[in-house]
Every structure is written in C-alpha cells, then in structure tokens.
Amino acid sequence: MVTEEPSGEGSSKNVSYDWQVNKHEMKMRGQHLLETGLWADCHFLLGAPPHQEVIPGHKLILAMASPVFEAMFFGGLAEKSDPIPICDVQPEAFKALLEYIYMDSIKINTVDKACELCYAAKKYMLPYVVEQCTRFLWADLKPSNVCRAYEFARLFEEHRLMMTCMEMICTRTMEVIKDTSFEEVEISTIHTILDQEFLSVDSELSLYFALSRYSEKHTAQGESSSSRATPESSSGGSANVRTFDIREALKKIRFLTLTPQQFAEGPGRSTLLTQTEAFAILMNISSPNSVCPMPEGFSTSRVSRIQNVVVESPSPQDGSESPNRIIPGNSPMVDEMHDVRNMMDSQRYYCVRSIRQQTDYLNTSVLDCSVTFSVNRCICITGVQVPTQVLGESNMQRYHDGSLPERYSELLYAHLLDSRGSRLTYTHCTSKVRFDSMLEISFDRPVFIQRYKRYKIGIVFNKVGWYPMAECLPKKTYQDVVFSFGVGMPNESVRDGLIRAI
C-alpha cells in the first residue's frame, strides 16, 4: 500500500491513495472524508472558548444536502471566512447533523439531543431530520422529560406534540413535579402548568413545594435564603426578574383549597410570601366571609384540581400507537379533547362576528390590527377571515384611465399569540383577490385553544387602499362555543373590526 502526503487542501496526515477500495457504499466513503478531513475546503468553529474545536467540511457535499449550505457557499453572498463560526448550535448537535449529511445516519438517544439536533435541522432546512427528532420525542415521552419535550414542541410549533405533552403533565403531575428535571424547566412552562384547570396532584401543597424547590435553586444566588420576600424587592431590577416570575407563579396556586393547618405548616412559613400576605390568605382559608381581602393577584379559587380516569391519547403523526394516559373523569375537557381531535380531520366551522356598523378606512402604508379573545370550550383554530379592499369611489380614483381590474394583489401577515405573548403560529398570504370579498388565511396547522384562556390574533395589511372597518359585537356563539372578543386590556385589540371570522 503506497501512502503520500496529499498535495491539495485538507488533512495533513498521510493518506492512502487506495482507501476507496474497501468502501463499498457511498456512506462509507462519506464517513472517511468526514473523519479524516481529506479534500476539505471549508472548516467550522464549534463551541465557546476555551473549549472550541475546528472540524472540516466539504462545500459540495454540504450544499447537496442543505439549501442553506448551498446559499452559504455558492450563493450571491457566499461565506468568505474560514473557519466559519457556529455560535447558536451545540457542537454535538452540529456533528450529528454532519453525520446525517455524510453518512445518512441519525443517532438520537436523549430528549436533549433530539431538541438540539432538531434546532440545527430547522436552521439548515433538513426536514427529514426534524421529522425523526419529533418521532423520537413521541416515542420517548415520560414524566422525566415531558416538560423539556413540551418546550421543544412550543418552540417549533409542533402543536399535536404540545397537546400530548400537556396531557401527560396534567395527568401525571405528581411524577412530573417530583422529578429533578422539573427544577430545570423554563418558568413560562411552570406558569402554563399552574394555569391548568385539572392536575393530578394530592393537593395544592404539592404544587407549592415543587415551586419552592424551584425557587430555592434559581434565586439562591440573587437573594439571601433567610430573608422574607417583599413585593418591592421582587419586582424591580434585572437581577430579580426570575424572582418576580416565581412570585407571579405563586399567585396561581389555589391556597384556598388547603386547610388552615396545611397552610400554617407549609406556605405560611414560606419566605416566598410576606407576613401580610400569609395572614390574609390564612384568614380567607379559615373564613370564606373574611373581611380581610385576598392579596392582590392571588387565586381566589376554592375548587380542587384533582382528577384521575384513563382515556386514549392522541397518536404521533406517523400513526403509530402511544400509551393511554390519565385524564380527569369529572372534567369536560375529556369530551372536548376527543371532539377537537375528531374535528381537526373532518368538520370546519366559521365564527363570523356580528357587525354593528361599518366605515371605510384608508391604509396608506402598513396597517396593523389585532383582537384578543377567549372561548368556553376547547377548540382548534385553523385560520381567520379578513375583508378585501372596497371597490368604492375612493379606490376608483387610483385608476386614472378608468379601467378597474376585477382583482388586486393582497399581501398580509397573520400570527396567533397566547396570553404571555408567545407566538403559537405565523403565516403570510400573497394572493390575487376580488374587491369587496372575504379572504381566508389558513395557518400551517390547527392550533389547539384551551377554554377560558386569553389569545390574540394579529394581522398586518401591506397594500395601500381602502378597507371596510367594522365595529363588532363583543360576543358570538356558534355550535355551542361562546367567543368573547376584546378580553384583557383595552389597548390589546386594535382595529379588531378587520378580523371578521375565526
């Protein structure tokens, strides 16, 4: 076997000229190039100092797999730097991505790796890898990783997976909150859990102690663990942002479902509550007619969240089976979830808002409109309807030759947000539409809407012209679903009369 120092770019090691002889498959040859760096014409800088490493790549192979790499190396603004820093992808995830590109190999063994690899695959537009990551999460879902999977599903708008994760959280809550992984979840996930109407917990004490452990871990560096919290110290300054969020979560715990003894021996001794708050809560637990009001913002619910009945869970998108989960037997959500899943694949309904009056409104550049809403039953939203431009005298003046087209090009964007402002879905619409008609904007997938939660739909119109602005009634009932519009702060709904139907 003859070996020589390669004369071109790539590895500096002695490389055999007949290495190809024993590589019977393309993926074997790709593995050799990836591992040796032979003929490499680009390099990537992974990780953060002081643990950075440089790995080689081949522009042609990378561009064959990813349109992002194609644009990076062969587009009009081709990357000139070498090595190319990869700052937003974990090193192991990027290496796993290269293994797929060079060797058609996808190795996923943990939820964290699935989430990190999926992020990289989304960034470099490798949909098959995204699909495999999502499938792994479906198959490996359990209480110790369900919160991480939920956060992944929320980030990447995998709404069916989000729904299944939340079902497991609601029905196996004790297992979820007792696992050490619960201390690593995002505070927004804890808020979502505490917003649920039904949770499988022994009592609200379980939720309180879980939140207390979370607080001890995440606020120990910023505050003395022996000092009592005060509203003033918990709400100001960037160093206390997490403390403020934890106190907001604390307000969602249903202390009024506890006995006086339970509260006094647990939350009553907490450093998360001020003495004034603890006293007021204890007075309200002891006497429902107490003259001492509950502290501002704290839950006044006396309804227990306890539940436990087995129902069938939704299956992954590939149709494979997933295990049954426990869902509240006394909860209307059981029937509602079944109804929602059936409707997602069959029936479609339109909640058309009732109009009081209508006037024309001129869009001179960009026109934003939004409406907040809530519903009394769980549903799925697939899109919205908005009016197109009016063909009135005002619009006619734009056409100087007197000829009016039947259609015009509409361009708009739509998004759906939850009560915390997190984006649930986003889409854009470019279409030739008729004047004086309705335009339907479909989201890329149905979005699950929980009852009595606040959501916000926003639309951005980008075409100059006159639009029919309407003043709509605040409520609309259709198919036993009551829509309440304009909920929350008044300034959150802006020119909402341009959103005519959901």
pTM: 0.56
Q: Copy the structure tokens of residue 314.
A: 């939704």
Q: Report yes or no on 277 lying in a domain.
A: yes
Q: What is the DSSP string of 82-102?
A: SSEEE-SS-HHHHHHHHHHHH
Instruction: Check residue 393 and give its pLDDT.
Output: 61
Number of H helices, E strands in the chain: 17, 17
> CATH no. for residue 43?
3.30.710.10
- Partnered with residue 16 across adjacent β-strands are 3
> In total, how many domains does the chain have?
3
Q: Report yes or no on 75 lying in a domain.
A: yes
Of 297, 285, 214, 213, which Cα lies nearest the Cα of 252?
297
Q: Are residues 189 and 301 in the same domain?
A: yes
Q: How far apart are CA 32 and CA 99, in angstroms?
A: 11
Chain centroid to CA 209: 27
Instruction: Check residue 226 and give its pLDDT.
Output: 40
Q: Report yes or no on 378 lying in a domain.
A: yes
Give the range of the structural domain holding residue 57, as residue numbers without chain letter.
20-140
CB atoms < 10 A from the CB of 426, how many? 14
Q: Report yes or no on 232 lying in a domain.
A: no
Q: Are residues 82 and 184 in the same domain?
A: no
Q: How far apart are CA 87 and CA 52, in angstroms?
A: 11
Strand 355-363 with 325-327, pairing: unpaired
Q: How far apart are CA 277 and CA 448, in angstroms?
A: 36
The residue count of the chain comes to 502
Q: Are residues 112 and 175 in the same domain?
A: no
CA atoms within 13 A on the CB side of 155: 17
Q: Report yes or no on 459 lying in a domain.
A: yes
Q: Report yes or no on 337 lying in a domain.
A: no
Q: Are residues 114 and 172 in the same domain?
A: no
Compute CA distances 384 → 301, 362, 379, 439, whole Å: 34, 21, 14, 8
Q: Copy the structure tokens of residue 239.
A: 């160093």
| CB of 440 closer than 8 Å to CB of 432 | no
Q: Copy the structure tokens of residue 55.
A: 């790995």
Instruction: Check residue 227 and give its pLDDT.
Output: 44
Please give the chain's pLDDT, 502 residues, in tens.
444 444 444 444 555 678 888 888 898 999 899 999 899 999 999 988 888 999 999 999 999 999 999 988 988 767 778 899 988 888 999 999 999 999 999 999 888 899 899 989 988 999 999 889 988 888 888 999 999 999 988 888 777 788 888 888 888 899 999 999 999 999 999 999 998 888 888 889 999 999 999 998 887 545 443 444 444 444 444 444 478 889 999 999 999 999 999 999 889 888 889 999 999 999 999 988 878 899 999 999 888 886 443 333 444 444 444 444 444 444 444 455 545 545 544 567 888 888 888 888 888 878 889 999 989 888 888 899 999 988 766 555 555 555 667 788 888 888 888 877 777 888 888 888 888 889 999 887 778 888 888 899 999 888 888 888 888 888 988 888 899 998 877 778 888 889 999 9
| CB of 433 closer than 8 Å to CB of 410 | yes
> CATH no. for residue 178?
1.25.40.420
Q: 140, 173, 195: which is the final residue of a domain?
A: 140
Instruction: Check residue 256 and give its pLDDT.
Output: 92
Torsion of CA 215, 220, 222, 224, to 10 degrees: 110
Q: Are residues 390 and 299 in the same domain?
A: no
Quick one: DSSP state of residue 22?
Answer: G
Please name the helix (run of DSSP H) or strand (run of DSSP E) that holds residue 445, with its range, or none. Answer: strand 438-449
Q: Are residues 136 and 202 in the same domain?
A: no
> CATH no. for residue 449?
2.60.120.820
Q: Report yes or no on 78 lying in a domain.
A: yes
Q: Report yes or no on 338 lying in a domain.
A: no
Q: Are residues 103 and 182 in the same domain?
A: no
Q: Are residues 103 and 129 in the same domain?
A: yes
What residue type is assigned to position 302 of the chain? R
| Ramachandran bin of 104, using left for φ above 0, alpha for ψ from -120 to 50, beta for the remaining angles | left
